[in-house]
Structure 1
Amino acid sequence: MPRTLHAEPVVRDRAHLNESPLWDDRHRMLRWVDILAGRVHGWDPATGERTLFEAGLPVGAVALREAGGLVLAVADGFALFDGERTTRIADLDSEGGELRMNDAVCDPEGRLLAGTMAYSHEPGRGTLHRLDADHTVHTALASVTISNGLDWSADGETAYYADSPTREVRAYRYREGRLLDPRPFVTTEGGVPDGLAVDAEGGVWVAVAFAGTVCRYLPDGTLDTVVRVPATVTTSCAFGGPDLDTLYITTATENLTPAQLAEQPLAGGIFACEPGVRGRAANRYRG
């Protein structure tokens, strides 16, 4: 029987589409994005200090940069942010603005993997792109619909990845920045898999959107823990805090009806719990 935990609100803003939580260990700050609003948020849990950067266009995700600052997966490409200004480093064919970035994370070798999706959710229109350190862009996985959570096993040889409409997280053999030989890992119940994170023990934490949960699965796929969140659209999760022992969870209000919004006053906020296991430091982009 899996154990049950309950997450508590830590940031009560009502955002539209919070995603891409990320612990910045250098600044001891949680970062995340509100995708369609083009906002990159920061919050220091110790002091309550907040930061906000307006990108001026949708931002699917943010990742840390080894040289300092951030790398952004924006609507139609990639950019660097040094704390004051953005510098565009790569462009994508967004097919007349019909596609946007949805999620991104750095691999153990310091490359950024970022997936696109169609605003219309049309099947197979998206691509999982790989941004190398030299700012060139390559295809890591083609023909995806809603590119979402991605993280790696401790040895870097297995990538866990979710194309949300499939309701399945798949495990891939990861070689030279490509996802190969997929096999089923878990199928989520009550909702669709969104963002995910692998902890220090190899457990895979998956935000199950529309179920109001984050589920931990053991490496063999066994359901180990269910975190219940008082907001049904759970979008992603990440470990943070000085000891990486706090699980932070982003949520959204997208697709909620007026009645559901009234029933979920905390929807669109950030939640946290202490699950008793630690996470791993985020990989940094080396470009």
Structure 2
Amino acid sequence: MRAEQLTGPEVYHGEGPVWFPGWGGLRFVDMLAGDIMTLMVDGTLQRTHVASVAAAVRPRQGGGAVIGVERGFALEEPDGTVSTLPEVWSDPGIRMNEGGCDPDGRFYCGSMAYDQAPGAASVYRLDPDGSVVTVLERVTVSNGLEWSPDGTRAYYNDTATSAIAVFDYDREAGFTNRRVFAELPDDGRPDGLTVDAEGGVWTAVSNGSAVYRYSSTGALEERLTVPASKVTACTFGGDALDRLFITTSQENVDTSDDPLAGSLFFADVGVRGMPVRTFAG
């Protein structure tokens, strides 16, 4: 399979696509610009600046959105105003990177050092009451996080490991029993990920011009070719959740050799995704 181009190379570091009917369809982030991108019905992109870094965005149950920003979290109200919550840490060498919501309405976002120092990062959980809990420590480049259709497993990418991890998940116990779900071939670097309604796990491969689909047992079943080198994340969208949207990046890319870097792509992959989980806060 091969993805098709949907927009021009309009973003520097596209990440974290999310489809939510309540805000009209697809949003994603131009992370290092601090902007949220909205795909309009005419195929153009609308850019909204929210912070110095916009790491991840998810809808809130009552309207608006929760956003991972450089050193913590922010809340967008239904009227579009954005308020930043207290910083989770003060070290300017570390920033948020990617996240998602669990089946119980809590929002997670993981970090990374700007220089990608090994073990310098963590994963944090923002609860609906505004409290923040550290759920994973000593990670390097925290990336994709999504749950199985029944909510009992969580899939997670720390890019530096070249593997997808899986945890058992329970509301009270959180993440337990970490193990390798799948190792990527050829030292592939897993980035953002999503899970389809059949339990298949789709991961962007940031050094592979591709998205891979793994079965629920961890077998590599599909390689979707993307005509840009640095593929960052993917999500299911469209009215039937049957279209895979894929973000790409220009960061550390020679765009003279890779002119579509920073474009948004899509593919019809023959399987449906799951509705996005919303933040209860």
| TM-score between the two structures when normalised by the length of structure 1 | 0.94
For 2:90 and 2:95, locate their aligned partners in 1 and report how far apart those are by CA, in whole Å. 7
From 22, 34, 39, the equivalent of 2:18 is 22
The question of whether the paired residues in 2 share the 8 Å contact of 1:90 and 1:137 is answered with: no
- Residue 227 of structure 1 pairs with residue 224 of structure 2: yes
Residue 104 of structure 1, CA deviation: 1.0
Residue 98 of structure 1, CA deviation: 1.1
- Residue 176 of structure 1 pairs with residue 181 of structure 2: no
Q: Secondary structure at the match of 2:273?
A: coil
Q: Secondary structure at the match of 2:32?
A: coil
| Matched residue, 1:71 | 66
Give the partner amino acid of 1:155. Answer: D
| Matched residue, 2:110 | 115
For 1:263 and 1:38, locate their aligned partners in 2 and report how far apart those are by CA, in whole Å. 26
Alignment of 1:193-272 (within 5 A): 193-256=190-253, 258=254, 261-272=255-266
Alignment of 1:138-153 (within 5 A): 138-153=133-148
Give the partner amino acid of 1:275. Answer: V
Unmatched runs of 5 consecutive residues or more in structure 1: none
| Matched residue, 2:29 | 33
Give the partner amino acid of 1:29. Answer: G
The question of whether the paired residues in 2 share the 8 Å contact of 1:173 and 1:180 is answered with: yes
Change (3 A) 1:88 1:56: closer
| Matched residue, 2:4 | 8
- CA deviation string 1:105-142 (max 9, x = no partner): 01111100100111111111111100001010001111
The question of whether the paired residues in 1 share the 8 Å contact of 2:125 and 2:135 is answered with: yes
The question of whether the paired residues in 1 share the 8 Å contact of 2:145 and 2:192 is answered with: yes
| Matched residue, 1:88 | 84
For 1:132 and 1:50, locate their aligned partners in 2 and report how far apart those are by CA, in whole Å. 31
From 268, 271, 279, the equivalent of 1:274 is 268
Residue 249 of structure 1, CA deviation: 0.3
The question of whether the paired residues in 1 share the 8 Å contact of 2:9 and 2:259 is answered with: no
For 1:107 and 1:214, locate their aligned partners in 2 and report how far apart those are by CA, in whole Å. 23
Give the partner amino acid of 1:20. Answer: G
For 2:42 and 2:50, locate their aligned partners in 1 and report how far apart those are by CA, in whole Å. 25
The question of whether the paired residues in 2 share the 8 Å contact of 1:194 and 1:235 is answered with: yes
The question of whether the paired residues in 2 share the 8 Å contact of 1:197 and 1:205 is answered with: yes
For 1:107 and 1:160, locate their aligned partners in 2 and report how far apart those are by CA, in whole Å. 11
For 1:56 and 1:183, locate their aligned partners in 2 and report how far apart those are by CA, in whole Å. 35
Give the partner amino acid of 2:263. Answer: G
From 183, 186, 190, the equivalent of 1:187 is 183
- CA deviation string 1:61-82 (max 9, x = no partner): 1111111011110001111112
Superposition RMSD on alpha carbons, in Å? 1.3
Counting matched residue pairs gives: 278
For 1:18 and 1:197, locate their aligned partners in 2 and report how far apart those are by CA, in whole Å. 16
For 2:55 and 2:73, locate their aligned partners in 1 and report how far apart those are by CA, in whole Å. 10
Which deviates more from structure 2 when the two are superposed, residues 168-177 or residues 234-243? 168-177
Q: Secondary structure at the match of 1:11?
A: coil
- CA deviation string 1:28-60 (max 9, x = no partner): 32100011111100013x433532211231111
| TM-score between the two structures when normalised by the length of structure 2 | 0.96
The question of whether the paired residues in 2 share the 8 Å contact of 1:90 and 1:135 is answered with: no
